[in-house]
Amino acid sequence: MINDSALLESRSLRDSVLDRTDVLDRVKALSLLPDGMHVTTAMVAAYFEVTVEVVRQLTKRHREELQANGMAVLRGADLRQFESDNVSLSTDSYPQARRSLTIYPRRAVLNVAMLLRDSDVARQVRTYLLDMEYLARTQPVENSPQPDAASLDDRIDQRITHILGKTVVPMFNALIETSGEHRRELIALRAGVQHIERRLQQHQARLRRLESPREDRPLAGVMAAMDAMSGREFEHHIATLLRRDGCTDVVVLGRHGDRGVDITALTSDGRRLVAQCKRFAPHLRITSPEVQKFVGSAKVLHASDVALFVATCRFTPDALSIAEQAGITVVHRGLLEKWAAGDMLRVLK
User: Could you tell me if 173 and 59 lie in one domain?
Assistant: no
Alpha-carbon distance of 315 to 313, in angstroms, equals 7
Structural contact between residues 309 and 286, judged by C-beta atoms closer than 8 angstroms: yes
Whole-angstrom CA distances from 122 to 23, 32, 48, 136, 259 are 11, 17, 6, 21, 28
DSSP string, 139-184: S-SSS-PPP-HHHHHHHHHHHHHHHIIIIIHHHHHHHHHH-STTHH
Please give the backbone phi and psi of residue 188, each rounded to the nearest 5 degrees, phi first. -65, -40
User: Could you tell me if 327 and 238 lie in one domain?
Assistant: yes
Structural contact between residues 155 and 22, judged by C-beta atoms closer than 8 angstroms: no
- In which domain, by residue range, is 159 found? 149-211
Q: Final residue of a domain: which of 110, 138, 166?
A: 138
Query: Is residue 216 included in any domain, yes or no?
Result: no
Give the total number of structural domains in the chain: 3
155 confidence band (pLDDT: 50, 70, 90):
low
Query: For residues 196 and 24, which has the higher predicted lDDT (pLDDT)?
Result: 24
**Which pLDDT tens digit goes with each residue over 50-109?**
999 999 999 999 999 999 999 999 998 888 888 887 755 544 344 456 788 999 999 999
pLDDT of residue 196: 81
Query: Is residue 324 included in any domain, yes or no?
Result: yes
pLDDT of residue 319: 93
Helix 183-211 vs helix 169-178: angle between axes, to the nearest 10 degrees? Answer: 170
The secondary element (H helix, E strand) that includes residue 308 is: strand 306-311
pLDDT at 198 over 60: yes
Residue count (the chain): 349
174 confidence band (pLDDT: 50, 70, 90):
low
